[in-house]
Structure 1
Amino acid sequence: MLVTSFKDNSVLFKIPPEWVPSQPTITHYVKLLSDNIFLVYYKNSLVVSASTTLITLLFAMFAGYGFSRFHFKFKNFLMFSILSTQMLPVVSLLIALYAMYKSYGLLNTQFGLILALTTASLPFSIWMIKVFFDGIPVALEEAAKIDGCSRFGILFRIIFPLSKPGIFSVGIYTFILSWDDLLYSLTLINKDHLRTLNPGISVRYMGEVSYDWANIMTVCLTATVPIVILFLFFQKYMVAGLTAGAVKG
């Protein structure tokens, strides 16, 4: 993608191929950044992904803590019921979801898209963050209670700070899931100024007969920047989240 974005379309199909562009050009970047609709797509993706991440984190932290610390009837059944929603492919839900959204006036709204993405990412997020809460000794909470700390005080002063790797892991997972979404965005949003990056790229930059490959590679490369930045700065938290609970002893 990087090499192709600096090539002119006239050299893309040369035989033998030109691996390193002899005359690199930044025309595609200039054209892309001057395209207002691309910047709108980018802004929409950031807003939707960030909002989905924050809402998912809020609900996942409280639900995960509840499943980790409280014992109640049908607890295991409820946990597996939540996780079982991940078994359904997105395609099988879209027709019913579209009809439901239409009757409630949620089509072509960012709130509707955020709601759909939150429900898609929440089940696994609850399970992931519960593992981190399970690893925190209950004795710490009991000591805080003796010192007069309330339940919410324990959560915000002890549990959440100690679970920082888990919170970051859930946040990164949710952000990537939202940023990479295509099916929900393409189905629930059909107004151009509300589209996010992925459906915007597929609708605006990819034609039925011919493709401006250099421009497409420039768009895709630009779209990967937030994900690359996330992995550069939070890679250790992501690894911690993926390996949490893998080793017992």
Structure 2
Amino acid sequence: MSVQYATPTTPLPPRRRGPRLRTRTGSFFLNALTLLAAVVWVFPVYWMVNSSLQSYSGVYGANANLVPFPFSVASYGEVLADSSFWRAMSQSATVTAIAVVVSLFSAVLAAAALSRFRFRSKRAVLLTILIVQMIPAEALFIAQYRMMDGWGLINSVVGLALLYAGASIPITIWMLKGFVDGIPYELEEAAQIDGCSRFGAFMRVTMPLLAPGFVASGVFALLASWNEYTLALVVMTDPGSLTLPLWLRRFSSPFEATDWGAVMAGSALIAIPVIIVFMFVQSRMATGLTGGSVKG
């Protein structure tokens, strides 16, 4: 008969929850900081919409209302009933469309040349483009005004659009060059073997693949042209040739009280076209911003 002896059981070591707890705490604080940054970023937009929906007494009252009560759309009616608003909207839309088309057309040709061809001054050209982009816009106002005046393009939609396109082309070239670099040249070579010319291979094969790049760089050119104020202030001196940022200034006067309700309503209406564009190109833009960052 065998005798069994009881052996003392060794207790299991307690779980170490320190690293996981620190990870959860760090994640909580990171999420809290992100939420706080989002609130700080969104609050001016909310305050703009909130002020535009308040009555005159609510905007100018001593106590600010965080909620538009009583609700009023009188400021929007004042803006929409102004014929100069629609004229400025047409001016801005025309200038922005021309600037975006010219900048994209010029930039894709330059990006293709810098990406597909090898020449001695290639680095010098890239460096020149970067230096031009770093020059402050205010330093060019006098030269740009004299140039536009010499060409007879003061108070001209075409003249302002060319200036906007010139300001957007350097950054657009850099963005599109990254996209062209990411498309293998072997695809164009295969098209040339099938009978396409070099230009035809680029147009038939590479250009369709550049759609995300066109969207991403086009949005940047659109925002730069749609919201630009100082250059338009220098070039567009005729009251009948105002763009939307210049038109918005008419509600502010050094001799009269500023109509803040109309200013906020006009600002909200100016932002609506940009929001609509972002809603349509959001997915393409996200693909473009990540696709042009790596070289295939």
TM range, smaller chain: over 0.9
Q: CA deviation at 1:7?
A: 0.7
Q: Greater RCO between the two (CA within 8 Å, min separation 6)?
A: 1
Match of 1:107 in 2: 154
How far apart are the structure 2 equivalents of 1:156 and 1:82?
Answer: 24
Aligned length: 248
How far apart are the structure 2 equivalents of 1:206 and 1:14?
Answer: 19
Q: CA deviation at 1:208?
A: 1.6
Match of 2:180 in 1: 133
Q: CA deviation at 1:110?
A: 1.0
How far apart are the structure 2 equivalents of 1:236 and 1:129?
Answer: 18
Structure (1 or 2) with the larger CA radius of gyration? 2
Matched, 1:120 2:167: yes
Q: CA deviation at 1:230?
A: 1.8
C-alpha contact (below 8 Å) 2:181/2:295 kept by paired residues: no
Matches within 5 A, 1:19-38: 19-38=66-85
Query: Identity, % of aligned pairs?
Result: 36
CA deviations on 1:193-212 (whole Å, 9 max, x unpaired) are: 2111011212x121225211
Secondary structure of 1:181's partner?
coil
CA deviations on 1:90-134 (whole Å, 9 max, x unpaired) are: 111101221222222121111110111111000110110010110
Match of 1:206 in 2: 252
Q: CA deviation at 1:234?
A: 1.3
Match of 1:47 in 2: 94
C-alpha contact (below 8 Å) 1:205/1:212 kept by paired residues: yes
Structure 1 vs Structure 2 CA RMSD = 1.6
Query: Normalised by the size of structure 1, how large is the TM-score?
Result: 0.94
C-alpha contact (below 8 Å) 1:128/1:241 kept by paired residues: no
How far apart are the structure 2 equivalents of 1:98 and 1:164?
Answer: 35
Matches within 5 A, 1:203-242: 204-209=250-255, 210-242=257-289
C-alpha contact (below 8 Å) 2:178/2:293 kept by paired residues: no
Gaps of 5+ in 2: 1-47
Q: CA deviation at 1:242?
A: 3.4
Q: CA deviation at 1:24?
A: 1.0
